[in-house]
Chain A
Amino acid sequence: MTESVDKQIYTVRLELRDRPGELRRALEPIATHGGNLRSVFHERGNRTPRGDIPVEVDVAASSEQLDAIVSALRADDITVIKAGTQRYTEELTAILFGQGLDTDLSETLSSIEASTAATVRDVTLAATEGAGGTASARIHLATEPDTTTETLATLREIASQRGLAVVEPLAAGEGS
């Protein structure tokens, strides 16, 4: 399928109540208003402090369509945290490690999303030493263009506040 040239890909972050049919209800307005659903990302097991489920949706739409979609979602009482104006184009992977990271992971991730322009795409935890021991997590972030350096600096800061260490990637194109 080809998309008309004025369509861009927007990332919409939602918080859904934990009840049957919520995801379907949230996706409906996208099609209704001409948006084309590109991906739905749901980090398993991650909950907001209220117990809602964070879901991230990539939608191809024109900016008018996006406005209509967001209005419709809000009218349906669905929480829209963020409707990106720009497609996330830079991706980066980092590894965090430290004592007790396994028990602290969810809060650490929320803190990363709250303080940076990045979205956590994927997380893999390895806690081979058992609960509370030294654990590692590989996190895959999607971030807005030209914010990688800033994101990594914030990541370092968050990690150090939590007594964790970060293994950063080399900047794009380096080391290849």
Chain B
Amino acid sequence: MRIAVVGAGAVGQAVVELAEPYGHTVTAVADSSAGVVDADGLDAEAVLDRKRTEGTVGPQTLDAVLDSEYDALVEATPTTVGDAQPAFEHVRTALGRDRDVVLANKGPVAQRYDDVRGMERDSDGAVRFEATVGGAIPVFSTIEDIGAENVTAVRGVLNGTANFILSRMTAEGVAYEHALAEAQDIGVAEADPTFDVDGTDAALKCAILANVLTDTTYTLDAVEMMGIRDIPASALELAQQGGSTIRLIGEVDESGVRVRPRLVDEHGTLAVSGTQNIVQVETTHAGRVNISGRGAGGHETATAIMSDLRQLEY
């Protein structure tokens, strides 16, 4: 497939890098300020080099990238909430031209799911978004295989940063601030960790899951949310004494959608440690399906994008 990549952060760059080995041709790349287009296929190494050395991908504009010839648009700009712009507009442009869209950006399907599905119905293009939840974990293809109508609930650890902090607090008995500083030092948490530690990121993922699983349209506002930043070390210690631990759990079931710190069995499936994610899918006929793996990272997320591209090829 010929792919145009919008967004050249860790995920966008990994997509440019992995496209060729997966049999795709990158024909256009845009970052926040510029773009580069070559209908015959870009030299991935050259584009990435230029991004690294000059801080930009090329001499052209984002509009030139959006207007270029491609089969699928990969939207990998940073997630925005509210009206999910500018990603939503990129999706509209691509679908309007009957092109496929693969989202890494959570905004459009978390905040404007109905609009996106509506535009998809009017288009010959399709929208896929495996990369939006659980990084490399095949969450939506699993749900697709089981059939959303056979899934009664989904829950899991959906944010690696929060999970890393809680794991460190448990293992070392350190305070939240200490564990956060560690996470920031090794690049697991951003300088402004709000999105991760307040539960927003996990809540957006739950909203997307709920949109896929239920007939109701969810947005961030409809998700009950509590973060981890106020949890004292003593709470984790008490949990551990009782054979439990605390994890930030996202849950989608018949009674609603919520993200909250929860007590889970210390040795249970949900007590993944470090930046690992886990997703539990409750099915009507086959009990519980657990899938865990790396929930973030450039190559991990790009791997999910490659799986969407493969699905679109059929």
Contact surface of A with B, Cβ cutoff 8 Å: 93-95, 97, 124, 126-129, 134-138, 140, 165, 167-170, 174-176
Contacts and interface: CB of A to CB of B under 8 A. Distances in A.
Nearest to A124: B238
Nearest to A170: B262
Interface of B: 155, 226, 230-235, 237-239, 241-242, 244, 246, 249, 260-265, 268-270, 280
A127 to B, nearest CB: 7
23 contacts: A93-B242, A93-B263, A95-B235, A97-B235, A124-B242, A126-B238, A127-B234, A128-B232, A136-B232, A136-B234, A165-B231, A167-B246, A167-B263, A168-B260, A169-B244, A169-B262, A169-B264, A170-B264, A170-B270, A175-B249, A175-B280, A176-B265, A176-B268
A138 B235 CA distance: 8
Nearest to A94: B263
Given A97-B232, A168-B262, A136 B226 contact: no
Given A167-B239, A170-B270, A174-B155, A135 B234 contact: yes
Nearest to B282: A174
B263 A136 contact: no
Given A97-B230, A165-B231, A169-B264, 15 more contacts: A124-B241, A126-B234, A128-B233, A129-B234, A135-B234, A137-B238, A138-B238, A167-B261, A167-B262, A167-B263, A170-B249, A174-B155, A175-B155, A175-B268, A175-B270
A128 B231 CA distance: 13
Nearest to B270: A175
A168 B234 contact: no
A47 to B, nearest CB: 23
A95 B242 CA distance: 10
A97 B238 CA distance: 11
Contacts, number: 81
A136 B262 CA distance: 14
Contact of B269 (A93, A138, A168, A176): A176
Nearest to A122: B242
Nearest to A173: B288
A169 B238 contact: no
Contacts of A176: 265, 268-269
Given A167-B263, A168-B263, A170-B264, A138 B239 contact: yes
Q: Which of A95, A127, A165, A175 has most B Cβ within 10 Å?
A: A175
Contacts of A168: 260, 262-263
Q: Which of A94, A128, A129, A136 has most B Cβ within 10 Å?
A: A136
Given A169-B263, A170-B249, A170-B263, A97 B270 contact: no
Contacts of B261: 167
Contacts of A127: 234
B280 to A, nearest CB: 8
Contacts of A136: 232, 234-235, 237-238
A91 to B, nearest CB: 12
A34 B239 CA distance: 40
Nearest to A135: B234
B230 A165 contact: yes
B241 A138 contact: yes
B238 A95 contact: yes
Q: Which of B244, B262, B265 has most A Cβ within 10 Å?
A: B262
Contacts of A140: 242
Contacts of B232: 97, 128-129, 134-136
Nearest to A137: B238
Contact of A126 (B237, B249, B263, B270): B237
B242 A165 contact: no
A125 to B, nearest CB: 9
Contacts of B230: 97, 134, 165
Contacts of B237: 126, 136
Given A93-B244, A175-B264, A175-B270, A165 B239 contact: no
Q: Which of A93, A94, A170 has most B Cβ within 10 Å?
A: A170
Nearest to A138: B238
A176 B234 CA distance: 24
Contacts of B268: 175-176
A176 B237 CA distance: 20
Nearest to A96: B235
A51 B241 CA distance: 31
